[in-house]
Structure 1
Amino acid sequence: MVKNAQAHDFFQQLNQDLRHSAFGLPRLILDEDQLKRNIQHAEQQLHKNKHLKPRLVVKSLASLQLLQTVATHFQTQRFMVFHLPQILPILESFSSADVLMGKPMPASTVEYFYLRFTSWNTSNIQWLVDTPQRLIAYLDIARRYAVRLQINIEIDVGLHRGGVSSTQELVALLKIIEAHPEQLKFSGLMGYDAHVTKLPSIIKKADVAYAESQQIYQHFIEIIQAQFPQLWHEELCLNGGGSPSFNFHVKQSVCNDLSFGSMLLKPSDFDSTHLEALKPALWIASPVLKVLENTELPGMPLLNKLPHKDKALFIYGGYWMADYVYPKGAHPHLLYGRSSNQELVNVSKTTQIDVDDYVFLRPTQSEAIIPQFSQLYCYKNNVFEAWETFRE
């Protein structure tokens, strides 16, 4: 009841502040106070494992001002980037940016970067590689553009989304890197383990899945140490994690580099017992355009005559990857259908809501929602500060 009352008070106040300051469009709202509480909790957890260096996932925090705020708190300039257009703002805005690509890029994408942005040819970018074919294509680019590419190798630690899964595959890649020291530099490994907390416990408990993923990771480390000692050094980037497995890594990890981002905003896809100390900090606010006492379905006059327990709202926009959270019980109509223009939202007849009030939704993901809005509105002390997002 306390939580429900707090949520009611928060959204009531947010609604009033939006009505007084907004210009009647859907807005993406960042609750700065909750963001900072989430950051503080994450910092406390990271102190448990001080050899882990934080790496911020850009796609999940896709606003330069947001990234600057979070990077300052964690005292890091390590970033994981998944989208080529997002590399340049990071390099331009952070003087010591350390960029690790979060997925293997097409060779044409890598070539475009070195062709288009020649002034950044010596920037600190680790390109992710998963196969010998991709590595050979990158080698050809390095030769043609006279650059030395840092190569991080993607390993499969149980997610089964590609990447090196055998000793033979890893050895083949390392031999190519070792044979071309002027063009290629081995920078480390990346093993994403989101499956650890996503598997139903009836199939495998999270702690067991995590232990297995760590054993696989350790096996690949030992191969490098034993067979390629000249490539091994303590400064290699041994990246792991993701928000879902954050709490496992901070307790014990073979990695020294930990990626996370979404959990700081806590969209609903990250609701789990492992992240329950973190609370939602990201909301969509949408103005109410129309308030109707009943929902009337086209072509169904008999059904429309039945008693109605809900009133109908039509809002500005809709059909986001998000769930309605306020007013309490708000939901799309099962039969009327969804709309990204004017979505029908049902609320209880007793709900006090008027045209130009706002309904609120909680995104399921931050990476899918943030780029849909040109600005992220940081909300603190009843005031909104507009932060630009990475829309491209």
Structure 2
Amino acid sequence: MQAVYFQQLTQDLKQQGTGTPQLILDLARYHANLEMVQSKLATAQLKPRLVVKSLACMQLLQVASEKLKTERFMVFHLPHLSDLLSRFKQADILLGKPMPVQAVQQFYQNRSDLNVSYPPTHIQWLVDDLERLQQYLQLAQQFKLCLNINLEIDVGLHRGGVSHPEQFSALLELIRQHPNFLQLSGLMGYDAHVAKLPKVLKSPEKSYQQSQQTYQRYKTILQQQFPELWQADLCFNGGGSPTFMQHCQQSVCNDLAFGSVLLKPRDFELDLLSAFHCALWIAAPILKILPYSQIPGLEVLNRLPHRYKAAFIYGGYWQADYIYPEKSQPHALYGRSSNQEMVQIPKHCAVSTDDYVFLRPLQSEAVIPQFARLYAYHEGRLTAWETCRE
């Protein structure tokens, strides 16, 4: 089945392609993944939030936004912020990492250049410690703004953020003291460690349960000790694609971030995500084919039997695995190349110059910005969508 799919895609690329490496989106699989997400969210009390870095293409985000009926986004790269505000008039944006105050200052200094009228209340700035919150307070006073502040809490990933109740209380106290400049908008706890910890150390179920308990403790401190900051519409964000299914089953959050699960690159080949399909490929043309690999300085190996032919492709060395032809792989001795990578292809495979090899990206966020366009592939047709490269 896979062979038939990629053979047909090769023929369509030969007719409509560019003759250069192309990033391919299988639109039918993308829609199927969106439908799976939609069905799981229907039974969960969670609002979806699309992670822009994982879906770094405005048309890709538009399709997901319309299907899931959401304009909630998580942004990790500041240039994406103005693009979103220009395209999605009701965008609710949560920063996914703390931004240096200089970057935030630049954003507000340049906001007149956005050519769009937007309420600053649609942006939630992520804050991880007291020093950064004090910097943001000074900036808010400088620009006469009231900034929405979402506090990053450490729920087990140990990548920074609030890790002690005393630290948490100090942040909340500073917000409480400056209501004209700082407004608490919620909490964010990222739990990527749940799926990545070796099971010999801790099961995903136990790890998820502990992360949820930690999250709930901070919610309780907020509600009991700072009731004046508690609002019914606070954003309690959590998740990420690896724990999407667990949050849909039970979560202390009300706001669920995800993106990669909709494309399912290789790093998201997890048991809990088995219902989703890979929808993203790299297609690279074959430039040259040799009957076998010839290693400079080791010509003596040329006399040995060879199970692979050597193909040199246009490009290479992406964060991706070769997926077709099956059992294709880089040569360990010849080395990698981002210009003309040598790929070992099983000898029995019928491939020719100008055919394509296909790779599955490890992460969409690492690969999409390397390509100027994403080609949506549907019913034999390829449509170019611009990516977010800056």
TM-score where L is the length of structure 2: 0.98
Q: Give the equivalent residue in structure 2 for 1:43.
A: 38
C-alpha distance in 1, partners of 2:57/2:242?
Answer: 21
Q: Determine helix, strand or coil for the equivalent of 1:369.
A: helix
Work out the CA distance in 1 between the residues paired with 2:89 and 2:290: 55
Partner of 2:342: 344
Identity %: 54
Counterpart-to-counterpart distance in 1, 2:89 and 2:106: 22
Partner of 1:370: 368
Per the TM alignment, residue 233 of structure 1 is displaced from its structure 2 partner at its CA by 1.3
CA–CA distance in 2 between the matches of 1:158 and 1:359? 40
Query: Which residue among 234, 237, 240 is the counterpart of 1:239?
Result: 237
CA distance in 1, matches of 2:142, 2:227: 29
Which residue number corresponds to residue 2 of structure 2? 7
Could you say which residue in structure 2 is the equivalent of 1:67?
A: 61
1:43 aligned partner, one-letter code = Q
Query: What runs of 5+ residues in structure 2 fail to find an aligned partner?
Result: none
Give the Cα separation in 2 of the matches to 1:199 and 1:296. Answer: 41
SS at match of 2:227: coil
Query: 1:290: Cα distance to partner?
Result: 0.3
Does the aligned pair in 2 maintain the 1:114–1:121 contact within 8 Å?
no
Give 1:95 shift. 1.0
Q: How does 1:113-262 map to 2 (within 5 A)?
A: 113-118=107-112, 122-262=120-260
Distance in 2 of aligned mates of 1:390 and 1:32:
18
| Number of the residue aligned with 1:16 | 11
C-alpha distance in 2 between matches for 1:330 and 1:203: 34
The SS at the match of 1:151 is: strand
Give me the whole-angstrom Cα distance separating, in 1, the residues matched to 2:23 and 2:230: 45
Letter paired with 1:73:
K
Provide the C-alpha distance between the structure 1 equivalents of 2:209 and 2:220, rounded to a whole number of angstroms: 16
Question: Which residue pairs with 2:90 in the alignment?
Answer: 96
CA-CA distance at 1:265 after TM superposition? 0.2
Deviation at 1:391, TM superposition (A): 0.4
Does residue 28 (structure 1) correspond to residue 58 (structure 2)? The answer is no
Cross-structure match for 1:387: 385
Deviation for aligned residue 1:122 = 2.5
- Aligned equivalents of 2:30, 2:2: Cα separation in 1: 16
**Regions of 4+ moved over 6 Å:** none
Q: Kindly report which structure 2 residues correspond to 1:297-376, keeping only aligned pairs within 5 A, or say none.
A: 297-376=295-374
> Residue 9 of structure 2 aligns to which amino acid in structure 1?
L
- Partner SS state of residue 228, structure 2: coil
- 2: CA distance between counterparts of 1:320 and 1:48? 38
- Aligned partners of 2:18, 2:93: CA distance in 1, in Å? 37
Give the letter aligned to residue 330 of structure 1. S
One-letter amino acid matched to 1:63? C
Q: Secondary structure at the match of 1:230?
A: helix
> 1:93-142 CA deviation, whole Å, 9 max, x = no partner?
00100000000000101101011114656251100001110000000000
d(CA) in 1 for partners of 2:120, 2:357: 48
Offset, 1:197: 1.0
Out of 30, 45, 51, which is 1:57 matched to? Answer: 51
The separation in 2 between residues aligned to 1:122 and 1:218, in whole angstroms, is 28
TM-score, normalisation: structure 1: 0.97
Partners in 2 of 1:69 and 1:189 — Cα distance? 27
Q: What does the per-residue CA deviation read over 1:154-209, in whole Å, with 9 as the maximum and x for residues that have no partner?
A: 00000000000111011000000000011110000000001111111111011111
Report the residue type matching 1:31 in the other structure: D
1:23 deviates by 2.1
Counterpart in 2 of 1:3?
A: none
Indicate conservation of the 8 Å contact 2:286/2:353, yes or no: yes
Q: Is the 8 A contact 1:291 1:313 kept in 2?
A: yes
TM-fit CA distance, 1:338: 0.2
Q: What pairs up with 1:260-271 in 2 under 5 angstroms?
A: 260-271=258-269
Instruction: Give 2:24's aligned amino acid.
Output: I
Whether the aligned pair in 2 keeps the contact of 1:318 and 1:341 (CA below 8 Å) is: yes
Separation in 2, partners of 1:353, 1:201: 41
Unaligned runs of 5+ in 1: 1-5
Measured in 1, the distance between the counterparts of 2:287 and 2:144 equals 58
